[in-house]
Every structure is written in structure tokens, then in C-alpha cells.
Structure 1
Amino acid sequence: MSSQHGEWDEARVRDLHAALVDQYGPVGASDAHGADSEADPAEGVRQLLTTILSQNVADENTARASENLFATYADFEAIEAAPTEELAETIRVAGLPETKATRIQRALAAIREETGGAYSLAFLDAMATDEAKAWLTDIKGVGPKTASVVLNFHFGKPTMAVDTHVERVSKRFGLVPEAASNARAHDVLDEAVPDELIYPLHVLLIEHGRTFCSARNPDCANPVCETYCDCEGC
């Protein structure tokens, strides 16, 4: 449906954030850090691999696969060097095991080659957000959502990870065009959302998608939907 509630500009995005905060409470700052912090630089790589495991699978299976992966292999070098079939069996609970095993090993190889032997994504911290995202998405199997998770959650860069909830809600609200691809949705939201609201709005849109704005039979009897949503349920 057409957006009957008005056009989106920065002020309207801020109003949406405020309305979601009224509904769900404020979102604390992420624990993202820059690569120049004292945090383990390997954590960015660990997050990248975990995010690859999370593609198209429930959170509990991601957690099990991640636990299996890091308990089975001593380090990233061992993961990259493992027979792909063996790695696939290790992460099978995550679904698409052969595909994800290949993506994991391809990502580790790209990182090692970029750094000259180190398994660290610290070099991304010095890059502009678009450049860092381009580097990650050049790895086959790493899409804009996976890249944005790593860049926003780990490095604090202003790029929104658009999962199914964020995409569904933002399209129903008219913030993203209904016909936009997921990649286009990333671009639209990165441009529309003020940098400091990228992380909290991501969290709040997911909460709204899970609580009210579900894919089927949405419950539109809430102030946020009444103000912003144009879906058939409203």
C-alpha cells in the first residue's frame, strides 16, 4: 500500500525511533569496539564465522554450530586447513553445511591473504564504512547483512544489518520501497538512518517485528503500527 502517513526524512526516522523506545524501552549501546581497542582482534573473525553460520537458520542452531566449530578446532588456521567435508559435518546443525563450510574457509583465506598471514579483521577499522563493506562482500557468500553485522556490531561502523524482521517492518512502514531487494534495503536504510541510531533502530525494528509485525497475521493494535504502518492488517 502507499505510505499514507507521510514521507521519510531524518526527523521522521528520529520520531519512529522515539516511538519504538516508548513501546519497548531504550536500547543500550552495542559492545562494538574499534580495532585499536584492547579487545582480541580475532573476535571480529569469530563474529564473521558465526554470522556465516547464522545465515537462514534459527539462533539456537547457530549457537550449537558455533560451539561445535570452536570446540573442534584449535584456531582459525586449523579451520581453514580442515577437509571441507569434515568441517561441514562439524557445523551440520546450522544447515547448508557444505555451502557454509566453503564460505568459512574462503573467508579465512581472504583474511589471511589480506594480512599476510594473520587471522584478524583489524585492518577494516581504518577503512571507510563503504570500503570495508565492499571488502567483505567481495568474499563470495558474504552478503550485505553478514558484512553489516560485523561492521556495526564489532567495529561500530554506521551500517544497518537488514534481517527479515528489519526488512519486513521497514517496508510496511514505507521506509524502504516494497519492491527493493535486500541489498537495496541496506543502502536505503544506511542513507536514511542517522549514524547514532543505526544500532538501536536495528534492535527495535527486530523487536517490533517479533512482537507485533509478524510475517503472517500481524497484530497492528499498537501505537507504532497505528502511526507508521500501512500493511493490510492496519
Structure 2
Amino acid sequence: MSSHDHEWDESAVRDLHAELVDLYGPVGASDAHGADSDADPGEGVRQLLTTILSQNVADTNTERAAERLFATYEDLAAIESAPLDELAETIRVAGLADTKAARIQRALAAIREETGGAYSLAFLDAMATDEAKAWLTDIKGVGPKTASVVLNFHFGKPTMAVDTHVERVSKRFGLVPESASNARAHDVLDAVIPDELTYPMHVLLIEHGRTHCAARTADCDNPVCERYCDCEWC
């Protein structure tokens, strides 16, 4: 059955999840714990900054930039108040350094202003998912993917982070219209994927994109592609 013949509702998504689990194995629970811990209220903020660093760059360079950022500055206040050119040089390995430095400082300022001086995102935990996403994406440079990473991975909220793999596979399977923007893809997947499957489906769709459903010369010789995909290689 091609994706164009497939009606996607909650039951169909559960079937797809089961078939992906058959192919790749079950996904463990997310490390999300519901809110910033009392011991380290800045943990969620650091995840947000790391996710900003990760925009359009390889994981290894993200890790190097994050390590350098948090080793260079004593605390989050020092990052916010650092000279912009100095901060950009610190995170240069992440690419788009000037842009990302400005985004990081805007994010820290927004958080500090919201909390009355604290660098903590714990207030997002009490918000509805849509409200929390809207608060984050109001920060210039924080898009739906960055917001969804923080909300799903750190707070356990049911919002799908749509990276290039998730978007490509979702469109090939017909979960998301081919013409949909990345922002629209977030909305469509959040609407159709059951809340408790948001994190495992994120992991499994990425695995499928990396293992079989590559951007070019896809390997469609697997049961999931045979049932759901109608890309040019199927």
C-alpha cells in the first residue's frame, strides 16, 4: 500500500509505530523529568542554548561549541552579559556564530525578564504545550524545532521535534503533505501522533531516515517502506 492510499489517524500511527519497533526495537523512555530540577534550575536553559547551537550543524561541532561555551563562562548571567563578538568567537565552531550568539543572549534575556531574574525554564512546565511552545518561539531565532526539542526532551511535553530525517520520512509516508513547511509539519505531526508516542516516534523516524530512507538512493527493501512509502526508489 502506498502512502497516498493510507488514511492517517491515531490507529494507523500506532500500527506504523509497531512496525517500526519490529524493525528497530523498542525505544526507551525519554530522560525528560517534567521540570527543571531543584538542584539545577539552569539545566533546561542550557539545553535550550545547546539546541540553538545545534541549528544547521553536525552533532560533533554542537558538542564542541557547547563544551566551550559552558567552560568559558562562569554562569548563564556571564553569557548574557558577554560582549557579542567575544561570545561569537567562543562558539565559532558551531557555525553562524554571530547569529547564534545574538539568539543565545536574546533567549537568556527573555528568560530572566519572565522570571524576574532567574535563569530557569521551570515556569514552562505549568503551561499547556501550545502555550509553552508559543512562549519559546516568540524569541527571535527560536523556531518550532528548537522549542519542541526542549519541551519534549526536557519537560516530556507531547511535541514532535521535526528534523530533516523526520520531515523527509513523514512526507514520503504521507503523514505530512509534501508541500508543507517545517512549521506546518510540526503542527500536523503533533495533531496525529498520540502523546505517549511522540518521543519514540521521533527516535524511530530518525532511525528509519538514517538506515533506509536516505535523501538520495534510499534503501526501500524493508517491510515499513514496502507498506507505507512511495518515494522514487520504492
Aligned to 1:162: 162
1:166–1:206 contact (8 Å) kept in structure 2? yes
Displacement of 1:113: 0.4
Aligned to 1:44: 44
Inter-partner Cα distance in structure 2 for 1:24 and 1:143: 30
1:5–1:227 contact (8 Å) kept in structure 2? no
One-letter code of the match for 1:96? L
Aligned to 2:177: 177
Displacement of 1:20: 0.5
1:112–1:118 contact (8 Å) kept in structure 2? yes
One-letter code of the match for 1:118? A
One-letter code of the match for 1:160? M
2:137–2:143 contact (8 Å) kept in structure 1? yes
One-letter code of the match for 1:220? C
Aligned to 1:86: 86
1:37-64 CA-to-partner distances (Å, cap 9, x unmatched) read 5452211000000000000000000000
TM-score under structure 2 length normalisation: 0.98
Inter-partner Cα distance in structure 1 for 2:59 and 2:100: 16
1:178-220 CA-to-partner distances (Å, cap 9, x unmatched) read 0000000000000000000000000000000001100111010
Percent same amino acid among aligned pairs? 85
Aligned to 1:64: 64
Tell me: CA distance 1:177–1:39, structure 2 relative to 1, closer, same or farther (3 Å).
Answer: farther
Aligned to 1:34: 34
2:36–2:120 contact (8 Å) kept in structure 1? no
Aligned to 1:221: 221
Displacement of 1:103: 0.2
Inter-partner Cα distance in structure 2 for 1:41 and 1:22: 38
Unpaired runs of 5+ residues, structure 1, are none
Helix, strand or coil at the partner of 1:202: helix
Aligned to 1:6: 6
Aligned to 1:232: 232
Structure 1 runs, 4 residues or longer, greater than 6 Å off: none
Helix, strand or coil at the partner of 2:3: coil
Q: Within 5 Å, which residues of 2 pair with 1:19-30?
A: 19-30=19-30
TM-score under structure 1 length normalisation: 0.98
Inter-partner Cα distance in structure 2 for 1:65 and 1:106: 18
Inter-partner Cα distance in structure 1 for 2:70 and 2:140: 22
Helix, strand or coil at the partner of 1:198: helix
Inter-partner Cα distance in structure 2 for 1:78 and 1:164: 33
Inter-partner Cα distance in structure 2 for 1:125 and 1:233: 43
1:104-149 CA-to-partner distances (Å, cap 9, x unmatched) read 0000000000000000000000000000000000000000000000
Inter-partner Cα distance in structure 2 for 1:37 and 1:59: 25
Inter-partner Cα distance in structure 2 for 1:42 and 1:203: 25
Unpaired runs of 5+ residues, structure 2, are none
Q: How many residues align?
A: 233
Aligned to 2:96: 96
Aligned to 1:152: 152
Q: Within 5 Å, which residues of 2 pair with 1:121-160?
A: 121-160=121-160
1:123-176 CA-to-partner distances (Å, cap 9, x unmatched) read 000000000000000000000000000000000000000000000000000000
Displacement of 1:83: 0.4
One-letter code of the match for 1:62? T
One-letter code of the match for 1:205? L
Aligned to 1:113: 113
